[in-house]
Amino acid sequence: MLRSLLLIIILVLSLQGFAQVTIQEILSTIEKNNPELRAHEQYIDAQNLGYKAQNNLANPEFEWEKSFSSEEGKPYEILVSQSFDFPTSYIYKNQLKKEQIANSENYKTELRQNILLKAKLLCIELIYLNKQKTELNKRLSASRKLNDYFDKRLKEGDANILEVNKIRMLRLNTQNQLKMLTSKIFNLHEDLKKLNGGKSLAINSIVYPEISLDKNMNVLLQESLNADPRLKLLSANEIIASKQTSLVKTKSLPKISIGYRYLNSDVMKKANGIKLGLSIPLWENKHKVKQAKLIEQFRKEEYSIGKMEKENNFLKLFHNYLSLDKSLKEYQKIFSEKQYDQLLQKALKFGEISGIEYLTESIYYYDSFDTYLEIEYEYNKTIAQIQKFKL
């Protein structure tokens, strides 16, 4: 009983070891290990500290003045003062700080989605290339058998050298395609490894993830726009520009200075008191309000342009998706009905077609199947781009 239980445990662990890694698991791993995301986290933290520092008071001032005149009793004076902006400016500074810190999350989300989409597209392309590799291995096996078959027929005088050479060229072309494909798969795995902070990841699957996409374009468009971090960022920039305009206007109000003064000498009595001062911004703030208003107007236009670009890009992707969906279903229907390559092999075996005819029909079939695989890849790639906002 114990031995059986141990065997079951070992079997389960073995099966887990050979389990296919899903795209979602790969994306989760990359999100943890990506060096750019980690570095950006630190940069955002530094930026947020900078935003908080904008609300700090100016440094206090300390002055000490000493006179060496004996007649006046060598007096000395101490002055400690602190300057302030006009009180309303601190309200706007605080509001501005909160908006800027909140907007940092939009920057983080945008970068994360860009990196994860890049990784997801790499995974989808690897699945596509794996499917191509599987197909090419089948073709190479078939071409080798065909090559041996025609070599035998050539010796027996039932085939000519032209047919044999064409079959050999087919085998050679398939071999070279497979080599190039293997090299491309290796390079894509290296790109995936780079995104994962130098740690290896492997996609060996030939099955695309199951995807459901709402075909109501308007609903999907609205979801995409509402969740898009780039648009949120641009919208926040518009609010920040408005707050900055209000803040700049308060700079036209006088600054206040308050302090304590202490005076002492050998011949005079000690004296102390307070110091009050105003700094009137006659020239320092010139043109700054106008500049802030122009920046605010630019941010509004930037948001409108950004939204228009997002809508335009979405509509192009969605129409492309509908076209690919239709084409994919047509190809799936054709290739699911019958194994065309097997029918060709039977026809050749029973002498219904010649070697040249078989080769011509095979190339036509291969081209069609390659187109089907390409459409399937573009279909899954387009859906991934449409659903970027969900990453």
Radius of gyration of the CA atoms of the chain, in A? 37
Euclidean distance between CA atoms 109 and 86, whole angstroms: 36
Q: Which residue is it, tokens 């004296």?
A: 271
Q: H or E stretch including 278?
A: strand 271-279
Let me know: does 321 contact 380? Beta carbons within 8 Å: no
Measured in degrees and rounded to the nearest 5, phi and psi for residue 273 equal: -175, -170
| Per-residue pLDDT reduced to its tens digit, 270-329 | 778 888 887 887 777 788 888 889 999 999 999 999 999 999 999 999 999 999 999 999
Confidence of residue 20 (pLDDT cuts 50, 70, 90): low
Alpha helices in 274-287 (DSSP H): none
Euclidean distance between CA atoms 145 and 167, whole angstroms: 10
Let me know: does 249 contact 310? Beta carbons within 8 Å: no
Let me know: does 240 contact 121? Beta carbons within 8 Å: no
Task: Compute the C-alpha angle 232/236/241, nearest 5°.
Answer: 150
pTM as predicted: 0.84
Range 170-181 average pLDDT: 92
| Per-residue pLDDT reduced to its tens digit, 360-373 | 788 888 898 999 99
Euclidean distance between CA atoms 196 and 122, whole angstroms: 12
More confident of the two residues 11 and 300: 300
Euclidean distance between CA atoms 320 and 384, whole angstroms: 13
**Which CATH superfamily includes the segment(s) 21-390?**
Outer membrane efflux proteins (OEP) (1.20.1600.10)
| Per-residue pLDDT reduced to its tens digit, 97-133 | 999 999 999 999 999 999 999 999 999 999 999 999 9
What residue spans define the domains of the chain? 21-390
**Coil, helix or strand for 84?**
strand
Among 338, 334, 328, smallest CA distance to 373 is for 328
What is the signed CA dihedral for 245, 247, 253, 259, rounded to 10 degrees? -160
pLDDT at 383 over 90: yes
Least confident of 75-89, 119-133, 215-229: 75-89
Q: DSSP secondary structure string, 309-373?
A: HHHHHHHHHHHHHHHHHHHHHHHHHHHHH--HHHHHHHHHHTTSS-HHHHHHHHHHHHHHHHHHH
